[in-house]
A and B are shown apart, each in its own frame.
Chain A
Amino acid sequence: MENMKKYLPAFKTCVQKEPAFCTARCPFHMDVTDFIDKVQTGRFDAAYRIYKNAAGFPAIACALCPEPCKDVCPLDEPIEMKLLEAASIEHAKRKTPNDYNLPKKKQKIAVIGAGISGMACALRLATKKYDVTVYERTHRIGGTLWESMDPKIFNDDFDLQFSHEEYDLHLDTDISSLSQLESEGYSAVYVATGKGGNDLGLLSEHLEEPCMMMGDTGVFAGGSLLGKDKIYALADGLKMSTTIDNFLRTGNLIYTPDPKGTGTVLDESRLIQTHRILPSADSGAYKGYSPEEAAEEGKRCLKCQCDACRLYCDLTDYLSKWPLRLRDEIQATTLPGSSEVKATPAKRSISTCSQCGLCKETCPKDIDLGGLILAARRNMHRQEKMPWVFNEFWLRDMDFANGPLSSVIKPPTGREKCDYAFFPGCQLGASDPGLVSLSYRYLLDVEPSTGIFLSCCGLPAEWAGNDELHNRELSRINTAWEDLGRPVLILACPSCANHFRKHLPHIETVFLYDIMADKGISVPKRNGTFSVFDPCSTRDKEKLRNSVRSIVSSMGIENEPLESQEKWAACCSFGGQGSIADPGFAKHVREKRIALGDKPYIAYCINCRDAFLEEGKETYHILDLVFDREPRAVTVSARRENRILLKENILKEFFKEEMDEKRPDYGIELYIDDELSQKLSREKILEEDMENAVSFCENTGQKLFDTEAGTYKGWRKIGHATYWVEYKPEGDGYRLLNGYSHRMEIEMEHIWNGHKTNFEV
């Protein structure tokens, strides 16, 4: 766990659960977002209930409220909360409170003062079935409400909210001293005698908190007596009922101060200014929103919450999980111990993250979920608990890219060492070997002391969480770089650049596209409007982004900006190599990126180009345009063949050498039509593995014969996976009719299949 630990403290500063600005400012701390949710969908009964639960007497609160929420609403025309509250009261069909059949409690409570604060406290305590007695100096309830609104409003609301509750009311009863109540046996007294009212000696005690013990009785003060405005006096009465209830249940005098403000942050992209909806209804007493108008007004609400992670991070968006939840899941998953005895909820999501780093960059608290995830991958790898299948394909790919059939690391002809070396990355040549050869030819023209360095940068090993392999790759690259004479590496892949900066920072690098922009390159003219798609690894590479734009513009192309991508470049789906762990995530991400613009894209990371091409989006690599090549999505097998062709071409064209290394030969010819080839590629099955399996079946005789179809079927385990082939002889070779694979191992068969080929059954 040690390398995960450093990421955890930041999670404690997460403000995702902080209330919205309006909720924090609301006298009742009503969950405005929840209220608005209901209003937006016309559920006024539910909206009313939320309001009533927060405010106690909704009609009174609505009439009194000076809307402090409007002062903090980020909208220039704040949400008309009062009108929405009024609409919830007007349009709710079911307003009678629930009648809970609870047993009566024995404790007696006195409320002194039948103003709004006393009545609110009495209501809540009566609802909890305490024996409540209200003492009022005058001949009526309502206190100063009589001066501020139509009495019908508060009298009706009192009647409605108390419709199932009982309390004793003593009018014309002046309580001038607590000793008057001594003989009544009250457990608690709430003193709410109003502005300038009798404090019964409470306030002269200079108490820090408005509550104290007198004998066994808890005495509490609140409301306008403490100088509060009516709406806050109402809120105070509700709040004090909770304090009193806690006191009576636990015997502890705990006064909870009001929550102070909120730490929430609204992402600027969410601030969309709109005009307020004006109410049109004017029927009798109600002058407010119709249900439709209320819903429309509600829809303007931004529901302020810190949700930058969900806005920018594809993983939290796709999983519909907040980083705090993912942190908990990741911690549970990486705990040592067998999955038989503990949950591993994040096993797949750990392997799915695209490692683009947007989470940390967009989080106002710099919470690095991606960093935690990478540390978790390493942790899981060390524990040998990561399913091999999530990474095996990519690690085999890396192995091949660094192997004798595709890797070339040489200074230019006639030199022992070089000042520069072209490091195109492992995928560019796999997609189109011509792009690498043509770029190298250009570079040699510009700078003859440029060697060639065809290799993978080692990033797949890091993404797989395999420290040992990763360190081996880094050290291999470093040694080769030393041997070349410590050249400046000319890169074509921005992900390689980030990987070098992070792990081999002493190696100086420069981008091919910067050289092209700085030194110039003759480019074909190409009219039309395209959109430059900035790869996620270029967010901090302004020069590179400008270089690509200048090359694009020199071709006569108009760039229609993908605004959100320019600001917060997000991954194309290749990053982190999570597409095997969760293919649905990769598709989700691609579709999101493609939806950003309808013009053809120009990418300058070959993986972006290929990801979009696969989804059918017209996309060019900048080098496709520079060298006038037609971009094509190629199969996983063709990618290997392209790397071999690249090595052959590079050796032939630039070094006048023939390649010694031979392609793997399984001693048979296998014919595969295009449709099957595409299918195999989608399932990430190499045609070479198919050839291997057919050859094995033929050489060992371990095969099945379909007497009806006249075809053979058989299998071979290669690496961890098992590959099935269906084929028939054709000419001097075989025709592959189908191929598929599974991850599960056929247990007993390996004693003879694939491991012991001469075994006689």
Chain B
Amino acid sequence: MDTKQTLKCDRCDVFMEPMDATFKYLGRSFKHKILRCPSCGQIYIPEDLAKGRMAEVEKNLEDK
């Protein structure tokens, strides 16, 4: 991720940075590194993540 960050937290006016965030689904939680606002913690989940890896994990948890 050397490309220049273009996404800003609109409220804090600072660029997003890759940081850990916690997710929860069907009673289980886990961490994943995604873009966050270093100031307020606002997060960004791009569509390819939501429909790719994230959907895969969702499906696995639904089968558990």
Contacts and interface: CB of A to CB of B under 8 A. Distances in A.
Interface of A: 339, 344, 347-348, 387, 389-390, 701-709, 712-713, 715, 724, 738, 740-749, 761
A741 B9 CA distance: 20
Given A389-B58, A724-B47, A743-B58, 6 more contacts: A703-B11, A740-B47, A744-B57, A747-B29, A749-B41, A761-B39
Interface string B20-63: 01111110010000000101111111010011001101100111
Contacts of A706: 6-8
Given A740-B51, A742-B55, A713 B7 contact: yes
B24 to A, nearest CB: 4
22 contacts: A339-B64, A387-B26, A703-B10, A704-B7, A704-B37, A705-B7, A708-B6, A709-B6, A713-B7, A715-B45, A724-B50, A740-B51, A742-B45, A742-B50, A744-B23, A745-B24, A745-B25, A746-B21, A746-B22, A761-B11, A761-B12, A761-B40
B47 A702 contact: no
A226 B36 CA distance: 87
Nearest to A750: B24
Contacts of A744: 23-25, 54, 57-58
A314 B9 CA distance: 49
A744 B28 CA distance: 10
A389 B10 contact: no
Contact of B50 (A339, A705, A707, A740): A740
Contacts of A713: 7, 44
A740 B46 CA distance: 9
A390 B59 CA distance: 11
A56 to B, nearest CB: 47
A394 to B, nearest CB: 16
B6 A707 contact: yes
A141 B29 CA distance: 76
A704 B47 contact: no
Interface of B: 6-12, 16, 21-26, 29, 37, 39-45, 47, 50-51, 54-55, 57-58, 61-64
A387 B25 CA distance: 9
A202 to B, nearest CB: 61
Nearest to A339: B64
B23 A746 contact: yes
B41 A748 contact: yes
Contacts of B11: 701-703, 761
Contacts of B58: 389, 742-744
Contacts of B54: 742, 744
Nearest to A346: B63
Given A344-B64, A724-B50, A702 B42 contact: yes
The 9 closest A-B pairs by CB, nearest first: A761-B40, A708-B6, A747-B22, A387-B62, A742-B50, A744-B25, A339-B64, A747-B24, A705-B10
Contact of B47 (A339, A344, A348, A738): A738
A715 B57 CA distance: 20
A348 B63 contact: yes
Contacts of A704: 7-10, 16, 37, 42, 44
A178 B39 CA distance: 99
Contact of B25 (A339, A740, A743): A743
Nearest to A703: B10
Given A745-B23, A761-B40, A707 B7 contact: yes
A736 to B, nearest CB: 13
B64 A347 contact: yes
B56 to A, nearest CB: 11
A387 B63 CA distance: 9
A706 B35 CA distance: 13
Contacts of A724: 45, 47, 50
A525 to B, nearest CB: 49
A347 B42 CA distance: 34
B11 to A, nearest CB: 5
A472 B62 CA distance: 27
Contacts of A701: 10-11
A703 B26 CA distance: 27
A740 B55 CA distance: 12
Contacts of B8: 704-707
A754 to B, nearest CB: 13
Nearest to B32: A744
A761 B41 contact: yes
B63 A347 contact: yes
Contacts of B12: 761
A741 B42 CA distance: 17
A703 to B, nearest CB: 5
A731 B39 CA distance: 32
A389 B62 contact: yes
Contacts of B26: 387
A348 B23 contact: no
Contacts of A702: 11, 42
B43 A746 contact: yes
Contacts of B51: 740
A308 to B, nearest CB: 28
Contacts of A705: 7-10
A503 B6 CA distance: 58
Contacts of A741: 50
A724 B43 CA distance: 11
A256 B57 CA distance: 52
Contacts of A703: 10-11
Contacts of A749: 41-43
Contacts of A347: 62-64
A325 B21 CA distance: 41
A761 B63 CA distance: 37
A744 B26 CA distance: 8
A712 B10 contact: yes
A740 B50 CA distance: 8
Contacts of B23: 744-747
A348 B41 contact: no
B31 to A, nearest CB: 9
Contacts of A742: 45, 50, 54-55, 58
Contacts of B9: 704-705
Contacts of A740: 47, 50-51
Contacts of A743: 25, 58
A709 B8 CA distance: 12
A464 to B, nearest CB: 15
A124 B57 CA distance: 54
B60 to A, nearest CB: 11
A713 B34 CA distance: 15
Nearest to B36: A749
Contacts of A738: 47
A56 B10 CA distance: 83
